[in-house]
Each structure stands twice: as structure tokens, then as C-alpha cells.
Amino acid sequence: MKGPFALDKEYPNWNEDGEYDPLIKTVPSTSHVSMWNFYPDPDAYNMDEAEYCVERHKLSKTQMRNLKNRPYFRAESIEACLDMGAQYDKKYWEDDMKDYAIENYTERYEVLEFWGYVDSDILQENGIDIPAELQDLEQINCNIWVCQGHVLRMVLNPFKPVRIPYYAVPYEHNPYSFFGVGIAENMDDTQTLMNGFMRMAVDNAVMSGNLLIEIDETNLVPGQDLSVYPGKIFRRQGGAPGQAIFGTKFPNVSNENMQMFDKARQLADESTGFPSFAHGQTGITGVGRTASGISMLMSAANNSIRSVIKNVDDYLLGPMGKAFFSFNMQFDFDPEIKGDLEVKAQGTESLMANEVRSQRLMQFMQTVSNPALAPFARMDYIVREIAKSMDLDPDKVANSMSQAAVQAEILKKFQEQNPPPPPPPNEGKPPQETEEVPAGVQPQDTQGTGGGTIGTGSVPTPDEPGFTGTRQ
């Protein structure tokens, strides 16, 4: 990020006569800087330690002419660059960053913007007036724009306190590098494993998806084309014994390769501290299949995300907030905004505080659910605080005590007018006694699966009820 700088912003406005009369107001603004066009001090570990930095601009002819309307730009140097023609040299990586290469040539000018310390003698040779309080310094922080050897702009750093107006945020702080460590670097080794196992799985699927042909040429007539296609005819030697053509099936082991791929992906989640389910990965098994389980996993994953947010606070939001404050104190002459204030970024602290507060409120809700403790709890306050911890407007989602009493009375009347249906007749009754079954048959064997046994049983005599035989 870069800034803040003064920007004349146009606000749409129509006067009383219906004519368009825009309002022009100078406001502080920031802009994004591509990492491909930013060259910091290679010996610095962060922007606070950087002695200088260079930003590379790719400007068209119209943009070059518009520079003459900006303060302290030298019109004669800009016209000299335009007369020399475009000289932009496309970098090797620019075509790789696009989906296609642009073949049509368009005039572009490479302009370098420098922020850093320059010898006082060089500034004086270029006609820069050095204030009295800075004349004793051997080096002075300044801003210089250069194009094709021409100085387009050279001014002293206007910010007080002096600062280089660039902010770079590392994903993971590296004390020995300016750029830090990102997700791609953390999972470099595991990504190599994943690529290897995936390639092996695909190669194996290709091999096992077709037959391998083995031909015994001694059984075939010489000089034949050995290519195989549907309807192909091979001529055999007369009287040659045995089979001439064999088809071999290659074994399919792609499942084993995919298992190793999944294992490598798990290792990638551990190495990056950013698990797959945190960015919408489906197919989660185990404890992640439940709502409470996924909540526990997300809470554990937030530990690594908090460190990233803290880096954003320390390297971007905090310094940029201080820069905006200093900008308003230095360039805005409205006395109402003047003050001796301190800017502090609290992104990480607010994230952790909301999470902890929400958990404690929910635990307290479970505690006071006991009927003996419920009368001592201010439920209206608890509900409103839970809504605040979830970033919800309590005035819109929570009722007051009087409104809650009305809603409770309405719910009670509704339940009285619409009682629940009676339970089924057999619900709550003991199971009925099972019917008597013939001897030798187990009652639980009702499906004929062979679970029963054959016993002797008791056979009725001719004089007993149930006898169906023939009397001798």
C-alpha cells in the first residue's frame, strides 16, 4: 500500500439551474502497489529500516502529459521524454501474469519513482532549496521521478515526521527477510509430494485403463504391420503351435497413490496452519461432521489466522492510521480535528475479545438455565451482549423486557389454543406378549436366516387338541 497523498476528488453536484457543477474537495487517499513493481532496500527487514525504495510505473502518453498538471513536475523534462518516444521494456514475467500475450504494440513509458535519502550536494546541484534546519545534514529524504535519464520531479519529503509512504505486510514474519514467508513457501515440500503422487495416479490410471499387447512374432507371417486397431487381422505361420498375441492387464494402484496424496494434503494443512475446512473444503470426517466439532476446529485454526491479522495491524493498519493522523494534523487546517492523539490498531485484540466474550456469555446462559438461578439473571442484558459479540445490532434482534413479556403472553395463548396432538395409543405401553410358536423354532428367527435350531418338541397325542394325524 502507498499513501496517504492529497487527491482532488470530484463529487457530483447540480446547481439550481440544473447544470452540472461538481464539487472538488482535496482528500487523503491511498493506492495499491504491485509487488512486481516495487523494489525496496534489499538490506532492510521492514519499511521502518529501509533507506530507500523504488516503484516502477508503466504510463501511457496521455498519463505522461497529465503529470504536467500535478505539483512540482517539470514540464520541459516531460516533453523531452515524449519527444524521445516510448522506451518501455517488457519484463520477462509480464506475459506470464496474463492469460494471453498482447501482440499489438502500445506506446508505454517506464517511469521510476524514488523515495529515500540523497546527498545534499546532489539536491543543491539540481536547484533544490534546502531549508535552514536541514542544511547541516549530509543526506536528506526526498522524492524523485526519473524517465529516460530526465528528472521529472525532485522535491524534499513533505511529510512530518519524515517517512517513506509505503507499507508492506508479510503473511508470516521472517526476521531475516523483508518479504516474510507465505503459504506457498510453507507448503512447498508438501506440494511437491502432492504433485508427484497425483502424476503417478494419473499415469497408472492411463496404463491400467488399456491392455498391454504382447506378440510372439515367430508364430506370425514376417513383414506384417504390428499396430493394433479394431478389425485388425494377423496372419499366422502354417502349423505354428500356441497363441501368438497376448493381452496383459496392468494393475491399478491409483487408490494407493491417492491415499498418499490425501496424507500429503493433511501435512500441507499442518505446515501452513490453515486447514482445508477453513476455506470451504468438503468431505470432512470425524469430529468435523458435527456443529460443535467444526466450531472447535475453527477455533484452533484461528490461532494461526490471528498471527496474520496481527501482522496486518503492526505493518499496515497501525502505521497507515498514524500516517492519516499526521496528514490531517499537517495539511488540514480545520481546528476541530486537531488533537494530541495516539493511533492504535486493535484488529487482533478485538477478534480475540469478541470470541472470548461470546464463549463466556454462552457459558453463563447455560449456568442460569437452572430454574433456581434464572430469577437472578438479567436476561435482557445477556441477550443484547451476545448479539454485540456476534456483530449484530441488539436494537434490531433483541426485545426489551416489556416486549419480551408481550411476546411470552402471545406464545402462551397460542400454545393454549393449539395444544400438541395426543400420543399414539401404544406409546408408553409395555410390549405385548409374543404369540406362542411351535416347538423347536426360536421366536427371534423371523427372517428364515438359519438362526433357529431343530428340537424334539412335544407332539400331541390322538386324544389331545391339535392332533391332525390319522388314528391307527
pLDDT tens digit string along 379-431? 778 888 888 777 778 787 777 777 777 777 888 787 887 887 877 776 555 55
Round to whole Å and give the CA distance between 289 and 270.
Answer: 19
Residue 470 has pLDDT above 60, yes or no: no
Distances (CA, A) of 327 to 7, 164, 288, 332: 12, 13, 49, 7
When mean pLDDT is compared over 259-268, 364-373, 381-390, the highest value belongs to: 259-268
Confidence of residue 213 (pLDDT cuts 50, 70, 90): confident
At residue 249, the pLDDT reads 84
Confidence of residue 447 (pLDDT cuts 50, 70, 90): very low
Residue 164 has pLDDT above 90, yes or no: yes
Confidence of residue 248 (pLDDT cuts 50, 70, 90): confident
Q: 371: cis peptide before it, omega within 30°?
A: no
Mutual orientation of helices 401-417 and 379-389 as an angle, nearest 10°?
Answer: 100
Residue 210: how many CB atoms within 10 A of its CB?
Answer: 10
What burial letters (b/e) apply to 314-343, b meaning 16+ CB within 10 Å? Answer: bbbbbbbebbebbbbeeeeeeeeeeeeeee
Confidence of residue 271 (pLDDT cuts 50, 70, 90): confident
Residue 361 has pLDDT above 90, yes or no: no
* Residues near 305 by beta carbon (within 8 Å), at least 6 away in sequence: 274, 278
Residue 55 has pLDDT above 90, yes or no: yes
Q: What is the mean pLDDT of residues 246-255?
A: 86
Q: In Å, how far from its chain's centre is CA 272?
A: 12
Q: Which residue has the cell 484452533?
A: 300
Q: Which residue has the cell 516503484?
A: 55
Distances (CA, A) of 118 to 125, 128, 138, 147, 468: 12, 12, 8, 18, 122
User: Which has more pLDDT, 141 or 98?
Assistant: 141
Q: What is the mean pLDDT of residues 443-470?
A: 52
CA-closest candidate to residue 1, choices 24, 50, 34, 26: 34
Whole-number percent of the chain with pLDDT over 70? 79
Mutual orientation of helices 291-312 and 347-367 as an angle, nearest 10°?
Answer: 150
At residue 139, the pLDDT reads 92
At residue 451, the pLDDT reads 45
75-79, 375-379, 386-390, 454-458: which range is least confident on average? 454-458
Q: For residue range 290-346, what is the model confidence (pLDDT) as tens digits?
A: 555 555 555 555 667 778 888 888 899 889 989 988 888 888 766 777 778 888 887
Q: Under a CB-based contact definition with an 8 Å cutoff, are residues 337 and 331 in contact?
A: no
Round to whole Å and give the CA distance between 390 and 351.
Answer: 11
| DSSP code of residue 46 | S
Cross-strand partners of 6: 28
* Residues near 265 by beta carbon (within 8 Å), at least 6 away in sequence: 190, 194, 276
At residue 167, the pLDDT reads 94
User: Which has more pLDDT, 18 or 452?
Assistant: 18
CA-closest candidate to residue 157, choices 115, 198, 196: 115
Residue 450 has pLDDT above 50, yes or no: no
At residue 113, the pLDDT reads 96
At residue 430, the pLDDT reads 56
Burial class of residue 115, CB neighbours in 10 A (0-12, 13-18, 19+): buried
Round to whole Å and give the CA distance between 191 and 201.
Answer: 15
DSSP per-residue string spanning 74-114: -HHHHHHHHHH-------TTTTTTSSS---S----EEEEEE
DSSP per-residue string spanning 423-466: PPTTTTSPPPPPPP--TT--TT--S-SS--------PPPTTSTT
Confidence of residue 349 (pLDDT cuts 50, 70, 90): low
At 151, which helix (H) or strand (E)? strand 150-156
Confidence of residue 375 (pLDDT cuts 50, 70, 90): confident
Three-class DSSP category at 26: strand
Burial class of residue 413, CB neighbours in 10 A (0-12, 13-18, 19+): exposed
Round to whole Å and give the CA distance between 35 and 167.
Answer: 11
Residue 471 has pLDDT above 90, yes or no: no
Q: What is the mean pLDDT of the chain?
A: 80
Residue 445 has pLDDT above 70, yes or no: no
Whole-number percent of the chain with pLDDT over 90? 22
Confidence of residue 78 (pLDDT cuts 50, 70, 90): very high
DSSP per-residue string spanning 348-368: HHHHHHHHHHHHHHHHHHHHT
Q: Under a CB-based contact definition with an 8 Å cutoff, are residues 219 and 267 in contact?
A: no
At residue 26, the pLDDT reads 82
At residue 453, the pLDDT reads 46
Residue 39 has pLDDT above 90, yes or no: yes
Residue 197 has pLDDT above 90, yes or no: yes
Confidence of residue 16 (pLDDT cuts 50, 70, 90): confident
- The residues spanned by each domain of the chain are 1-26, 33-94+104-168, 177-221+243-272, 308-417
